[in-house]
Chain A
Amino acid sequence: MSEPAMPATQHVADADTTAFLSRVRQDLDHSCAVLDGHTLSRLNRIRHTAFDAKTARRRSPLLLPFGGLVTAAVLMFSVLLLNDTPQAPLPQVSLPQISLKGLPAAAEQLEDMDLLSASEEVDFYEELEFYQWLADSAI
């Protein structure tokens, strides 16, 4: 007997909830409709700002090549400036006096850095006088 009463109660509760929610929506909609002019103006500006920002970002890829060129130019200029700057004299290092007379012309043109970096040929340079004598003897 109590079963038919449940749906009726439920129905009333649902109707109440529906009416309550309808009233809530009505009030919230009304609060939007009566927003002051200052707030509406700000919202309008915000919306336009969002689109302007997107337009600006869309344009920016066109400027990328120019940005790249400017960066490259600045880098080139920096490198040139560094190269033109007078270098401080390197500290004098006392190296053994080695006569290169009689060696092939290519060997005579070796730079100091090449000598220092060619670690596997250090023995060759240490025995240079011997190789020079050997070459003279052969002649």
Chain B
Amino acid sequence: MTSATLPIMQPARGDAQARLGYDGEHAAGRRETKALRQQLGLENFLAGVERKAYRMARIATGNQEEALDIVQDAMLKLVEKYADKPESELGPLFFRILQSRIHDWYRRSAVRNRFRSWLGTADDDDEEDALQLVPDPAGKAPEELLALSGSMEALEEALRRLPLRQQQVFLLRAWEGLDVRQTAHAMGCAEGSVKTHYSRALTTLRAKLGDHYL
């Protein structure tokens, strides 16, 4: 009986190798499945967040092409560097990259505009830039826009008039729903700064949009 069961209990070397080969293929298959699942999760995440990211960049830059470029940079960076991160971490990571890109754009625009003002050169093309986003004193105030058209235009205008940091903090906290810690991580600043920026932004927006916004 023992000799009869021996081949089953102790498989021959060739069987063991075959089994190892099978296990190796199985492990490779599992790795591939995991990678595919991660990619699918990442794609779903980006598909779900792309509109919001675009709107945030659009409000910050006031320019469609610039906003799309910023979103593209942020997506490329996320996919390149953080594709293996769990889905729960993707949100704060993505918005950190996005806010960083927006901040870079803002700095570049400020430098470009400073040089233009020093050189006294006018911008010949029709591109919008940060200088064009400076509120026109003769332009319509958010309250007037609110009375004239939809509330979204008024909200967007009021958001655009906020300092960049306040605008970013407000959108991340109030719209994206990040908590103070996550927002601080995304903005690369202290939690106290987040609270201050958020409070000031909220106060300003409520003052600009008025109670009739409700």
Residues in chain A within 8 A of chain B (CB atoms): 16-17, 19-21, 23-25, 27-28, 30-32, 35, 39-40, 42-44, 46-47, 49-51, 53-54, 57
Whether the pair A47, B83 counts as a contact (CB closer than 8 A) is no
Task: Report the nearest B residue to A52, measured CB to CB.
Answer: B79
- Is there contact, CB below 8 Å, between B71 and A28? no
Q: Is the CB of B46 within 8 A of A53?
A: no
16 contacts between A and B (CB under 8 A): A23-B151, A24-B174, A28-B175, A31-B55, A31-B152, A35-B51, A35-B55, A39-B54, A39-B68, A40-B51, A43-B68, A46-B50, A46-B71, A50-B72, A51-B39, A54-B79
Do residues B52 and A32 form an inter-chain contact, with CB atoms below 8 A?
yes
Cβ–Cβ contact A27 & B71, under 8 A: no
Is B155 interfacial (CB-CB < 8 Å)? yes
Q: Which residues of B contact A17 (CB under 8 A)?
A: 202, 206
Flag if A27 contacts B51 (CB, 8 Å): no
Q: Quick one: given A16-B214, A51-B79, are A24 and B175 in contact (CB under 8 Å)?
A: yes
Contact with A along B2-30 (1 / 0, CB 8 A): 00000000000000000000000000000
Q: A20-B214, A43-B68, A46-B50 known; A28 and B75 CB under 8 Å?
A: no
Q: Could you tell me the distance between the alpha carbons of A9 and B43 in the complex, rounded to whole angstroms?
A: 46
